[in-house]
Amino acid sequence: MLDDFFVRALIAGLGIALVTGPLGCFVVWRRLSYFGDTLSHSALLGVTMAYSFELNIALSVFIISSVIALILIQLQKKTNLPGDALLGLLAHSSLAVGLVVIGFLTFIRFDIMGLLFGDILAVTTNDIFIIWTGGAVILTVLKLIWKPLFASTVNYELAEAEGLNPDRAKAIFTILMAAVIAISIKMVGLLLITGMLIIPAAMARNISDSPQKMVLFSVIGGLLSVLLGLFSSLEFNTSSGPSIIMAALVLFILSLLNIKQSIKLKN
Amino acid sequence: MSLENSTLVKLNNAGFKQNDKWLVEGVSLTVEKGKIVTLIGPNGSGKSTTAKIALGIYKNIEGTVEKYTNKVGYVPQKISIDWTLPLRVYDFMLLTEDIKDEAIDEALTLTGVMHLKNKNLGNLSGGEFQRVLIARAISKKPELLVLDEPVQGVDYTGEIALYELIKKISDTLNCGILLISHDLHTVMTATDHVVCLNGHVCCSGTPMDVAKNNEYKTLFGEQASQILSVYEHKHDHVHSEEGIKKN
C-alpha cells in the first residue's frame, strides 16, 4: 500500500495536520504567525545544509530553525528594535543566505518549486516515519507543557505568580515550532507552513467557545484540508501545499458564514 | 523552612528599579499564616510593585524575598486577556491548577457569580469579572493570597460582602493575605498589619499605629486619620487615648 505515492502523501499529510492543529491554536493565541514565517523561511537554509552535508532534511531544518529562534531571543535582549523588525530581519536574511548558498551548490539539482510549495511525489516511507514519530513527540511534549503554556498565554503574571514557570514553557514551545516546521516542510513547502498552522486554527476560532473545542476543530479542519487538498492536487495536477492551504481557506470561509448566521439569530 | 513556621513570605529591604527609576525601595514586611497585611499609599507609591516582588514576578530585585509556599492565589490589579482566546469562566477557573468541580462551584457561589460559570469571559462586566478573579484565586485554597485592589468596579454592597469574605477566608483557610486597597475604612476593619508606602515604607504597624503616624496624616490628610479613630471607637468601645495605651 505504501508503494503508492498518493497513499504515502495522505498518511504524511494527515500526520502533519494532527500536529499543526493544536500548535496552530497557540500560534493564533500568542500572535506568533510572523514568528512562524521567520522560522519557515530560515528552513531553506536548513535544506541547503542538508544537501551540502548529506544530512536528513528534517533534522537539518530543525537545527537551523532552533538556532534562528535562539538568535532572535538574543537580539531581543541586546537591541531596542521592535519584535517584528527583528523577525523581518531574520526571515529575509536567512532566506537570502539560503538562496545564495543554493546558487553555489551547482552540483545538485534543486526543485525550488517543490521546496517552496511542497511536493507530494517526494514523500518517502522514511518521511512518513519522521512525521509520525516526530509528531508523536511534539504532541506529547505539548501535552506536558499545556498548563503553564496556556496559563501564560492568558496572562503571564498570573502564571508566574502561581508558580508555573512560563518562561520554560515558552522556550520549549519555540523548539516545538521549529520541530513542526521541520517535519512538514517537504509536504507543505516552506512558504505555506504558517498557513497550515494558522488557517485551520482561525477557522476553529470562529466556531468555538472554549479552548478545548478550538483545538479539536482546528485538528479536524486540518485533516479535512489535507484530504480535500491532496485529492484536488491529484485531480488537477497542482502543487500539494497550495492545494491544502486553499482547502483550508474554503473551510475558513464556510466558518464565517456560520458566524453571520449566529449574529442574525441573536438579532 | 524558616525558624518561624508561620511565615509565608518575607521581604528584606526589597526594591525594584525599572529604566533607572526606582519603583519602590527598601521594603521589609512579613506575611504570616492567618494574618492580613495591607499595603496602602497614593497612586504610584509602589503598592503593586511590592506585591509583584513578593510574588516573584520581578526577577532582578534589590534585597531579598523569602517565599515559603508555592500555593499562591493572585488577583492582579490590571489583567488584560486576549480575546483571540475563546475562554469561559469555567476554563479560567482551571487556569493554573486542576481543581475539582465542587471547589469551583463553591468559590463561584461564595463570590456570587455561580450563574456565570459557562459564560464567555469576554462578555462579563468589570465587577463580574473581578468576582471571577477572586473566585479563581480562592478556589485553589492557597496558603498565600495576594489581592491587588480586589473589589475595583464592584458595587458598594458587593464590596462589603467581598471584604467580609476575604476576612472569612483568612480565618477558615488560615492563609496569609497581602492586600492592596485604597478603601481606608475597609483596610482598618480587617487588617492585622498596615504598611503605608510612598516609594518606600513611610510607616507601618497596626491600623491604629499607622493612623496616628504624622507621615500618614500628611499623605492622606487629617480626615483619613479620623476615619480610623471612629472605627476603633465603634468596635472596641474604648477611647482613642486608651487605644494608644493598649497598643
**Per-residue pLDDT tens digits for B24-41:** 989 999 999 989 999 988
CB-CB: which of A154, A162, A164 is closest to B85?
A: A154
Position B216 in a domain: yes
The residue among B92, B115, B141 that closes a domain is: B141
Same domain, B32 and B124: no
B97 to chain A: closest CA residue: A147
If you count them, how many residues does chain B have? 247
In A14-33, the residues whose Cβ lies within 8 Å of chain B are 28-29, 31
Query: Which own/partner pairs from B234-242 qualify as long-range (CB within 8 Å, at least 24 positions apart)?
Result: B235/B189, B240/B208
Nearest beta carbon to residue B74 from set A162, A210, A211: A162
Residue B246 confidence (pLDDT) = 40
**Helix extents (H) in A118-165:** 125-154, 156-161
Helices A193-206 and A166-188 pack at an angle, to 10 degrees, of 110
Neighbours of B111 (CB within 10 A): 25
Cell numbers placing A19: 500536529
Tell me, yes or no, whether B14 lies in a domain.
yes
Confidence of residue B96 (pLDDT cuts 50, 70, 90): very high
Indicate which CATH number applies to the domain containing B28.
Answer: 3.40.50.300
On whether residue B54 sits in a domain, the answer given is yes
The 8 Å CB, 24+ separation contacts for B207-211 are: B207/B231, B207/B232, B208/B232, B208/B240, B208/B243, B208/B244, B208/B247, B209/B247, B210/B40
**Confidence at residue B213, expressed as pLDDT on a 0 to 100 scale:** 81
State which residue of chain A sits closest to B52, comparing Cα positions: A161
- For chain A, list residues with pLDDT below 50: none
Q: Are residues B131 and B237 in the same domain?
A: no
Q: State the pTM of this model.
A: 0.86
Collect all residues of chain A within an 8 Å Cβ-Cβ radius of residue B98: 147
The answer, yes or no, to whether residue B235 has pLDDT greater than 60, is no
Chain B neighbors of A208, CB-CB under 8 A: 86
Query: B176 lies in a domain?
Result: yes
Is-contact B40 B197, C-beta < 8 A? yes
In chain A, what are the domain boundaries? 5-194
Given B117, B141, B165, which residue is the final one in a domain? B141
Same domain, B112 and B231: no
Per-residue CA distances from B63 to B11, B29, B53 (Å): 8, 12, 10
Name beta bridge partners: B18.
B21
Q: In chain B, helix, strand, coil percent, each to 5?
A: 40, 25, 35
**Same domain flag for B131 and B153:** no
- Could you tell me if B58 and B114 lie in one domain? no
Assign residue B237 a region: left if phi > 0, alpha if psi is -120 to 50, beta otherwise?
left
Residues B60 and B104 in one domain: no
Give the per-residue pLDDT at B1. 45
Please check whether residue B1 lies inside any domain of the structure: no
- Within a domain: B105: yes
Q: Among the residues of chain A, which ranges form H helices? A: 5-29, 33-53, 57-78, 83-104, 112-117, 125-154, 156-161, 166-188, 193-206, 211-236, 240-266
Which of the two residues, B129 and B243, has the higher pLDDT score?
B129
pLDDT greater than 50 at residue B242: no
pLDDT value at B206 more than 60: yes
Cell reading at A3: 508503494
Domain's final residue, options B89, B107, B141: B141
Question: What is the ipTM metric for this complex?
Answer: 0.84
Residue A264, chain B, CB below 8 Å: the answer is no
> A5-194 adopts what CATH topology?
ABC transporter involved in vitamin B12 uptake, BtuC (1.10.3470)
Residues B135 and B147 in one domain: no
Q: What are phi and psi of A47, to 5 degrees?
A: -65, -45
Are the beta carbons of B56 and A153 separated by less than 8 Å?
no
Same domain, B186 and B65: yes
Distances (CA, A) of A78 to A1, A72, A212, B16: 53, 10, 37, 21
pLDDT above 60 for B17: yes
Q: Residue B195's domain spans which residues?
A: 7-71+143-246
- Establish if B2 belongs to a structural domain: no
Interatomic CA distance for residues A225 and A247, integer angstroms: 5
Closest CA to B216 of B189, B195, B246, B232: B195
Q: Is residue B236 part of a domain?
A: yes
Find which of B50, B85, B138 to mutate to test the A interface (most A CBs within 10 Å of its CB): B85
Q: pLDDT-derived band of residue B89, with 50, 70 and 90 as boundaries?
A: very high
Q: Which three cell numbers stand for residue B214?
A: 504624622
pLDDT above 90 as % of chain B: 40
State the Cα–Cα distance between residues A94 and A84, nearest whole angstrom. 15
Domains of chain B: total? 2
Same domain, B241 and B174: yes
